[in-house]
Amino acid sequence: MAFITYQFDSPAQFYAELKDVLEEGGFHADPEEQVNSYITLITQHQDEFLDSSGQDLAQCCYRLLDSDVFQQNTLAVTNSIIERAIQSPVDQDMWVTYHILLYAGKEFPKVYSWMLRSEFFAKLKYQILQQEGSSLQPLAVNLMYEMCRVQSLKPCDIALLDETFLHYLLDLVERTRTDADENLNYGSIKLLLTFNEQYMLNMSNRANYTPSGAKPTYSGNPLLTVLTDRPGASCTFGENLIFILNRAEETALQMLILKLLYLLFTSPTLYEFFYTNDLHVLVDVVIRELWNLPEEEESLRHAYLRVMGPLLTNTQLKRATYKRAEIVRVLRELGGGDLDTTLRLQLQEQQMREQQLEQSRAASAKLTYRDRESSSSPAIRWANNSACPSPVLAANAVRHHNHRLPQSKMSTSSTSSLEVPAGMYPNGTRHTILDSLEVESTDFSIAVPPLVERRDSQPRAASPTTQRLVERVLREWLDNEMKNGAGTTGVGLSVRDVTDGHVSSDQRIEIPVAQ
């Protein structure tokens, strides 16, 4: 009914006409035509009567989904909307039909399977590739994500998810890293996660799609292949992947991320895909989730444990363990406090080995004059990220030291060495005094605090699967430490002293902004 033209003097008249089209039907011969008139009415007047936030459009979509004409003719009406979305070349029309299909799929998940039967999946890929910068692109990304999330794709559909498409999405993530609106960036990452899930399902079925007379277009997991071919070119993807995991509340989304992380940490060419700082944040997130997950989230807990093993033994962390004491505590708690005897002995042996290493480093450290004056104080702590291996005085010790040596008489340089003010001594005398103050190495030891177990409650009763996973993680991790000597994170710095992770008030890890 394209010959019908509507003119409204107010939003009230516009919404009244929409209601009349849905409820009365008027001159429409069938439900599909009735719904098409409703969509056309919205498309023609959306700029005039609908706000830019999308709330008015969402209200119009749900009015359609709740109407009798849709409820009583769901399949026929939905197919007509899908066909309209495929055929329409007008952005304003696609904007409305895409939103209707998105909301319909969320209310009736079977709608996504109906969309997959048509050519709509290929249309969405075209929209994503060709509509960069338009408002349709993030909407198409969101629709494709939902379609891939709730069902298994057929081999012919997976063939559309080729390496060229993957490269484009990864490049899109890098280009949009600084956008104020994060929807497209995060939406593209989530879409790649569903692709990985589809590749895994397809690999398990060993079903490859090969067009007649053509070479195979799918083999293995193309996402891993593409990431391997892009060393250093997917930094934002890795950073934001961990950021999304840190903020994720949906179990399904966490599982998608953990599956990809497991593949990355078990693929030799991608062992060091992430920066070390990102791995530290990931360790913080894993520890937090393992502590906080409720009892009923057993499958998610197992997924975190499966990721923790290769994370600690295959990545850069195999050379310098991060948050070792916290990892041991959470694994002991998850294991129900009843670890295998061999593992307990390994833990004790490794702890003794680490204590000896710390004491050896402390004994071989050369002290400056200021350090020697304060070496007997219990307030000494080892400096983190300092070029000087000498101990650094705690704040209270510094204040006490400065009280005894006024700033007007004496000051310390950046390397904690003694600085004598010029003019205090005759020429030549100053150097003689400084030479006489050279200090020999002094032996002292630092008491390593005992490993205190978290005992907020009685140890939980671990399921057999959890017990087995905990013991496997511990055994592989401790064996790796014995092999690589990864008991500490750096010279003079015990893993017990590492406090790099910053936790916000809602217990989520604050991830530093990439430079």
Helix and strand numbers, DSSP H then E, in the chain: 23, 4
Report residue 426: phi and psi, to 5°.
-65, 165
- Sequential DSSP letters for 253-292: HHHHHHHHHHHHHTSGGGTT-S-HHHHHHHHHHHHHHHHH
- Sequential DSSP letters for 56-111: HHHHHHHHHHHSHHHHSSHHHHHHHHHHHHHH---HHHHHHHHHHHHHHHHH-THH
Q: What is the mean pLDDT of the chain?
A: 76
Q: How many CB atoms lie within 10 A of CB 487?
A: 20
Which amino acid does the sequence have at 351?
A: Q
168: CATH? 1.25.10
Which pLDDT belongs to residue 102? Answer: 96
Q: Could you tell me if 191 and 252 lie in one domain?
A: no
Q: How far is CA 400 from CA 179, 373, 377, 388, 418, in A?
A: 50, 11, 11, 22, 17
99, 61 in Cβ contact below 8 A?
yes
Q: Could you tell me if 35 and 172 lie in one domain?
A: yes
**Strand, helix or coil for residue 490:** strand
Within-domain flag for 181: yes
Q: Could you tell me if 296 and 445 lie in one domain?
A: yes
Residues 6+ positions from 31 with CB-CB distance below 8 Å = 69, 72, 73, 76, 77
Residue bearing the bigger pLDDT, 97 or 480: 97
Q: Could you tell me if 253 and 196 lie in one domain?
A: no
Within-domain flag for 221: no
Within-domain flag for 155: yes
Question: What confidence tens digit (pLDDT) does each residue in 437-461 have?
Answer: 444 444 434 343 444 444 444 556 6
- Rounded CA-CA distance 496/430 in Å is 42
Residue bearing the bigger pLDDT, 229 or 423: 229
Question: What confidence tens digit (pLDDT) does each residue in 93-143 have?
Answer: 999 999 999 999 999 999 999 998 888 999 999 999 998 888 999 999 999
Counting the structural domains of the chain, the total is: 2
Q: Could you tell me if 355 and 453 lie in one domain?
A: yes
Read off the pTM: 0.72
Tokens of 133: 């910068």
Q: Could you tell me if 202 and 239 lie in one domain?
A: no
pLDDT at residue 235 tops 90? yes
Q: Give residue 70's domain range.
A: 11-208
Residues 134-153 have a mean pLDDT of 94
Which pLDDT belongs to residue 453? Answer: 44
Which pLDDT belongs to residue 225? Answer: 95
Residues 6+ positions from 142 with CB-CB distance below 8 Å = 102, 183, 187
Within-domain flag for 23: yes
